[in-house]
Amino acid sequence: MQKDYRILWKELGLDLVKHDGLLSILSDAYKNIYLSQQNRPEGMKYFDFVISEVHGLRIEELYEAKKEGRKVIGTFCVYVPEEIILALDGVFVGLCAGAEAGFDEAEKYIPRNTCALIKAFMGFKLSGLCPYVEITDLIVGETTCDGKKKAYEIFGDITKKMYVMEIPNMKNEVDKQLWLNEVIRFKEKMEEISNRKITLESLKKATDIVNKKRIALQRLSSLRAYDPPPISGLDALLVNQISFYDDPIRFTMKVNELCDELEERVKREEGVVPKGTPRILISGSPFAIPNWKLHAIVENSGAVVVGEESCVGNRNYRELTDENFNSIDEAMDKIASRYMSIDCACFTPNKERIDNIQKLFKELKADGVIHYALQFCTPYMIEAFKIEKNINFPFMRLETDYSMEDFGQLKTRVEAFVETLK
Size of the site for ligand BJ8 (CB under 6 A): 20
Report the nearest approach of ligand BJ8 to the CB of residue 190 (Å): 19
**Is there binding between residue 194 and ligand BJ8 (CB under 6 A)?**
no
How far is residue 212 from each of residues 91, 208, 233, 238, measured CA to CA in Å? 17, 6, 22, 19
Sort strands 162-165 and 72-75 into parallel, antiparallel or unpaired: unpaired
Among 33, 117, 255, 331, binds ligand BJ8 (CB under 6 A): 117
Left if phi > 0, otherwise alpha if psi is -120 to 50, otherwise beta: which for 284?
left
Among 147, 229, 271, 368, binds ligand BJ8 (CB under 6 A): 147
**Is there binding between residue 81 and ligand BJ8 (CB under 6 A)?**
no
* Cα–Cα distance measured from residue 273 to residue 229, given in angstroms and rounded to the nearest whole number: 7
Specify the stretch interacting with ligand BJ8 by CB under 6 A; choose among 29-37, 140-148, 209-217, 222-230.
140-148
**Is there binding between residue 144 and ligand BJ8 (CB under 6 A)?**
yes
Task: CB nearer to ligand BJ8: give 78 or 255.
Answer: 78
Task: CB nearer to ligand BJ8: give 12 or 398.
Answer: 398
Report the nearest approach of ligand BJ8 to the CB of residue 281 (Å): 16
* Cα–Cα distance measured from residue 240 to residue 221, given in angstroms and rounded to the nearest whole number: 10
Sort strands 138-142 and 72-75 into parallel, antiparallel or unpaired: parallel
* Cα–Cα distance measured from residue 240 to residue 35, given in angstroms and rounded to the nearest whole number: 18
Burial of 62 (0-12, 13-18, 19+ CB in 10 A): buried
x/- letters, 36..75, toward ligand BJ8 (CB under 6 A): ----------------------------------------
Q: Provide the H-helix boundaries in 195-268.
A: 200-223, 233-242, 248-267
Task: CB nearer to ligand BJ8: give 231 or 377.
Answer: 377
Task: CB nearer to ligand BJ8: give 57 or 178.
Answer: 178
Contact call for residues 292 and 240 (beta carbons, < 8 A): no
**Is there binding between residue 282 and ligand BJ8 (CB under 6 A)?**
no
Beta bridge partners of 399: 373
Among 379, 384, 396, 401, binds ligand BJ8 (CB under 6 A): 379
Among 44, 54, 97, 145, binds ligand BJ8 (CB under 6 A): 145
x/- letters, 294..323, toward ligand BJ8 (CB under 6 A): -----------------x------------
Residues 6 or more apart whose Cβ sits within 8 Å of residue 90: 70, 71, 72, 73, 190, 194
**Is there binding between residue 94 and ligand BJ8 (CB under 6 A)?**
no
